[in-house]
């Protein structure tokens, strides 16, 4: 039982001069058992006698403050991943948390309390690995590579949480831990079976980086089971790895109503009391849901102790203290952030920069882009005038959304004949069989066809109302009605610039050959129309790189429910994709001129690497220099290639730059079948270029990569 507080320290928990642990212990010690139980749910009630206000832990900030009124809408996470720019992403996340802070304090001033989506605990980022393009929530992730995901996710966490040594600006949350990426329709019952090698090579590294390096404050458990254990009550994931091996000191929250699944669909417990007890004992401290209502019964049945409850309450209240909720506001540096930051000019400009750097140029036959010397322009397609495709999912709201058509209109020079028609629909065959657009469009110099996917077609369970698979995609090609329309356009002689929206890979098939140029723009946020137009007209140069592989068809993919990495992503797939991981063209030409590295290193030594990069074109540009590692003789189960470094660099026309990398031993380590990491002796190759290695990249016009060999000594 908890001891009574010392009368001599009646205000200890309110004294900012006292150590954090002592303050939390004092406050928890003042709570009754009933009060403590009430605090372990996301919508925690007030404790008036202690002066503790109600607090709702559920907040969302995936690519901007979500579901809480006005906010800057940045590109969807998968689009931000395509920037390959951690420094930019940290700025974006800092802007997001500035807006969250401003909203939180404004709400407190107005109402004296905050509600749902109005707190400082944000359940972002989603750092699950996007292993299969059918997963509707893949748009929320940072792509298919664990190293890229970890780097970008860590930057996002640093931006959300701030750099004050005492206070958090907001509390970030790494989700969904772990081995979680569909199918959505089975997430409440699914058991993801994965080898120790795949677990530690692919599914856990990003979580480890966010916990051990970025010091993320919270981790959210996934709905599914992993190797038979429910993720929100897993001894392996929560006890052995998260708290044990990684030393996580924050709090764990369940996904919403996931604990109910323990006894209803997973069958790992018999009833709600057993589920609640198991979750708390394994280290789930906070519930989004209602199963913790059975904690009192669990205590009565001896399934857990009050000490278990105290541990959980201590963890979540440590977060609240770090956020400054019990200190004078003048002590908390983030409490004075003004409301004027919300969707400010500076934040809109940051959203524009993120959108600009996220756009990936997949094709540019005959250098049709950027558009010049036009006499006539025809814009069509179901996404051209759509605000939906700007926002993705988990979005906020802005009064300054710029659609694709608005951006293009603003950039089109006066004197150019300009027409717009929707032309076709996203998914359904138009009811009117008469369509004039295909012949009319052919009379224009260029057709900009705005096509692709929308958040209605892919997303979370219950959100994507046009998905027949509870948010997932059953096909990964361009919807047939759009593909047929593009074929008709081409048959009538149109020169087509295809602008594709979407949150996942689209297998274009023959459409990739029909289009003269292809831009993939993701769900680009409120400034998406302006950014895309500036790239189309050459005000800016495209520099985004794919954070995931675009396969040719479903035939190149293993079954959706198979979680083995064999045959998946650029690291393990042997099939030739349509567009490879890391690929993206620009309006200039980069040349890689050599990799310099030591011929031999010891297993405990860092490897210094230098790459020379020349902008051999006539315009300034930005390139993402990518460095990959490969064993000369890979063993069964080893990745074919592993991304070990990347840098986004600006290079003026005609300039040569030397790009330096330092690869610490952990970047050179290989995971064995038991899940253990070790630097293995042998012969290795380093490949540097503007895309992942493979013949397909060169065929698409990527810069020729350069490579060097080295040995790791016995």
Domain boundaries, the chain: 20-48+173-322, 354-572, 590-712
Active site residue 255: yes
- Give the pair of three-digit tokens for residue 501: 């929206």
pTM above 0.85, yes or no: yes
20-48+173-322: CATH topology is TIM Barrel (3.20.20)
Q: How confident is the model at residue 714 (pLDDT cuts 50, 70, 90)?
A: confident
Segment 307-331, tens digit of pLDDT: 999 999 999 999 999 999 999 999 9
Residue pointed to by tokens 């295909």? 438
Q: CA of 311: how far to CAs of 25, 220, 250, 303, 569, in Å?
A: 10, 17, 11, 15, 40
Q: What is the pLDDT of residue 155?
A: 98
Q: What is the pLDDT of residue 2?
A: 37
Q: CA of 242: how far to CAs of 21, 248, 370, in Å?
A: 21, 6, 49
Among 198, 255, 353, 516, the one annotated catalytic? 255
Angle, nearest 10°, between helix axes 146-161 and 86-111? 40
In the Cβ-directed half-sphere of 603, how many Cα atoms lie within 13 Å? 10
Q: What is the pLDDT of residue 698?
A: 82
Q: How confident is the model at residue 10 (pLDDT cuts 50, 70, 90)?
A: low
In the Cβ-directed half-sphere of 685, how many Cα atoms lie within 13 Å? 15
The answer for residues whose C-beta is within 8 angstroms of residue 540's C-beta and 6 or more apart is 356, 531, 534
Report, as an integer, the average pLDDT of 571-587: 97
Q: How far apart are CA 504 and CA 132, in angstroms?
A: 9
Please tell me what DSSP assigns to residue 227.
Answer: T
354-572: CATH topology is Rossmann fold (3.40.50)
- Asked if the model's pLDDT at residue 64 lies above 90, the reply is yes
* Rg, the chain, Cα only: 26
- Give the pair of three-digit tokens for residue 447: 């057709």
Q: Do the Cβ atoms of 541 and 553 come closer than 8 Å? A: no
Please tell me what DSSP assigns to residue 334.
Answer: G
Q: How far apart are CA 589 and CA 258, in angstroms?
A: 50
Segment 366-384, tens digit of pLDDT: 999 999 999 999 999 999 9
Active site residue 271: no
Report, as an integer, the average pLDDT of 484-507: 97
Report, as an integer, the average pLDDT of 606-631: 97
Q: What is the pLDDT of residue 1?
A: 32
Q: How far apart are CA 199 and CA 665, in angstroms?
A: 20
Q: In the chain, how long is the greatest CA-to-CA distance?
A: 87
Q: How far apart are CA 673 and CA 689, in angstroms?
A: 30
Q: What is the pLDDT of residue 570?
A: 97
Secondary structure (H, E, C), 257-276 = CHHHHHHHCCCCCCCHHHHH
**DSSP string covering 377-445:** EEEE-TTTT-SHHHH-SS--B-S----HHHHHHHHSPTTSEEEEE--S-SSS--S-S---HHHHHTTSS
Segment 171-229, tens digit of pLDDT: 999 999 999 999 999 999 999 999 999 999 999 999 999 999 999 999 999 999 999 99
- Asked if the model's pLDDT at residue 4 lies above 80, the reply is no
Among 60, 145, 261, 458, the one annotated catalytic? 458
Report, as an integer, the average pLDDT of 320-345: 97
Segment 109-123, tens digit of pLDDT: 999 999 999 999 999
Q: What is the pLDDT of residue 436?
A: 80
**DSSP string covering 563-585:** ---TT-HHHH--SPPSB-TT--B
- Asked if the model's pLDDT at residue 243 lies above 60, the reply is yes
- Asked if the model's pLDDT at residue 5 lies above 60, the reply is no
Q: What is the pLDDT of residue 218?
A: 99
- Give the pair of three-digit tokens for residue 348: 């809109």
Q: What is the pLDDT of residue 8?
A: 42
Q: How far apart are CA 515 and CA 616, in angstroms?
A: 26
Peptide bond just before 176 cis, omega within 30 deg: yes
Q: What is the pLDDT of residue 696?
A: 84
Segment 133-173, tens digit of pLDDT: 999 999 999 999 999 999 999 999 999 999 999 999 999 99
Within 234-326, strands assigned E span 251-253
User: In this structure, which CATH number among 2.60.40.10, 1.10.3720.10, 3.10.450.40, 3.40.50.2000 belongs to the domain 590-712?
Assistant: 2.60.40.10
Q: Do the Cβ atoms of 279 and 291 come closer than 8 Å? A: yes
- Give the pair of three-digit tokens for residue 486: 């593009």
SS3 208: helix
- Asked if the model's pLDDT at residue 3 lies above 70, the reply is no
């Amino acid at each position: 039982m908890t001891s009574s507080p010392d009368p001599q320290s009646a205000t200890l928990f309110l004294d900012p001069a006292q150590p954090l642990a002592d303050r939390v212990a004092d406050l928890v010690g003042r709570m009754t058992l009933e009060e403590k139980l009430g605090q372990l749910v996301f919508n925690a009630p007030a404790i008036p006698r202690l002066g503790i206000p109600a607090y709702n832990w559920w907040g969302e900030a995936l690519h901007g403050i979500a579901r809480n009124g006005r906010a800057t809408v940045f590109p969807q996470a998968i689009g931000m991943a395509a920037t390959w720019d951690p420094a930019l992403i940290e700025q974006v996340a800092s802007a997001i948390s500035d807006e969250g802070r401003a909203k939180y304090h404004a709400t407190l001033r107005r109402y004296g309390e905050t509600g749902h989506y109005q707190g400082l605990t944000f359940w972002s980022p989603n750092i699950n690995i996007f292993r299969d393009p059918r997963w509707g929530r893949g748009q929320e992730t940072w792509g298919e590579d664990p190293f890229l995901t970890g780097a970008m996710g860590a930057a996002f966490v640093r931006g959300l949480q701030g750099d004050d040594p005492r206070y958090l600006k907001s509390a970030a949350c790494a989700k969904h831990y772990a081995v979680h990426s569909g199918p959505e329709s089975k997430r409440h019952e699914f058991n993801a079976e994965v080898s120790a090698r795949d677990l530690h090579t692919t599914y856990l590294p990003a979580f480890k980086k966010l916990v051990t390096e970025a010091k993320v404050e919270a981790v959210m458990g996934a709905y599914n089971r992993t190797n038979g254990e429910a993720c929100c009550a897993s001894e392996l994931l929560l006890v052995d790895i998260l708290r044990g091996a990684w030393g996580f000191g924050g709090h764990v929250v369940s996904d919403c109503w996931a604990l109910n699944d323990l006894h209803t669909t997973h069958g790992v417990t018999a009833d709600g009391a057993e589920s609640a007890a198991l979750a708390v004992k394994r280290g789930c401290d906070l519930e989004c849901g209602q199963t913790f209502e059975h904690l009192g019964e669990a205590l009565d049945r001896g399934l857990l102790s009050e000490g278990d409850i105290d541990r959980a309450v201590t963890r979540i209240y440590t977060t609240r203290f770090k956020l400054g909720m019990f200190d004078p506001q003048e002590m908390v540096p983030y409490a004075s952030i003004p409301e004027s930051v919300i969707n400010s000019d500076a934040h809109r400009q940051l959203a524009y920069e993120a959108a600009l750097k996220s756009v990936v140029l997949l094709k540019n036959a005959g250098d049709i882009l950027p558009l010049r010397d036009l006499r006539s322009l025809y814009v069509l397609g179901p996404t051209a005038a759509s605000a939906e495709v700007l926002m993705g999912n988990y979005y906020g709201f802005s009064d300054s959304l710029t659609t694709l058509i608005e951006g293009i209109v603003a950039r089109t020079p006066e004197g150019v004949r300009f027409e717009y028609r929707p032309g076709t629909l996203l998914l359904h065959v138009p009811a009117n069989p008469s369509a004039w657009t295909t012949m009319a469009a052919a009379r224009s110099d260029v057709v900009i066809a705005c096509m692709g996917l929308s958040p209605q077609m892919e997303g979370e369970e219950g959100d994507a109302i046009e998905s027949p698979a509870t948010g997932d995609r059953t096909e990964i090609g361009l919807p047939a009605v759009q593909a047929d329309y593009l074929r008709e356009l081409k048959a009538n002689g149109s020169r087509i610039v295809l602008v594709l929206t979407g949150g996942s890979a689209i297998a274009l098939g023959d459409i990739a050959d029909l289009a003269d140029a292809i831009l993939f723009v993701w769900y680009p946020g409120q400034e998406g129309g302006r950014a895309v137009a500036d790239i189309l007209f050459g005000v800016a140069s495209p520099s985004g790189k794919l954070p995931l592989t675009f396969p040719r068809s479903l035939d190149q993919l293993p079954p959706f429910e198979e979680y083995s990495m064999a045959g998946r992503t650029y690291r393990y797939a042997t099939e030739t994709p349509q567009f490879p991981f890391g690929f993206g063209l620009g309006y200039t030409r980069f040349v890689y001129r050599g990799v310099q590295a030591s011929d031999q290193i010891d297993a405990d030594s860092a490897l210094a690497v230098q790459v020379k990069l020349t902008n051999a074109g006539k315009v300034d540009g930005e390139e993402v220099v990518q460095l990959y590692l490969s064993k000369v003789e890979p063993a069964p189960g080893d990745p074919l290639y592993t991304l070990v470094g990347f840098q986004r660099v600006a290079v003026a026309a005609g300039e040569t730059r030397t790009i330096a990398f330092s690869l610490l031993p952990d970047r050179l380590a290989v995971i064995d079948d038991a899940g253990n990491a070790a630097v293995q002796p042998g012969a290795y190759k380093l490949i540097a270029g503007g895309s992942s290695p493979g013949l397909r990249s060169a065929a698409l016009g990527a810069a020729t990569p350069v490579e060097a060999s080295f040995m790791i000594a016995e």
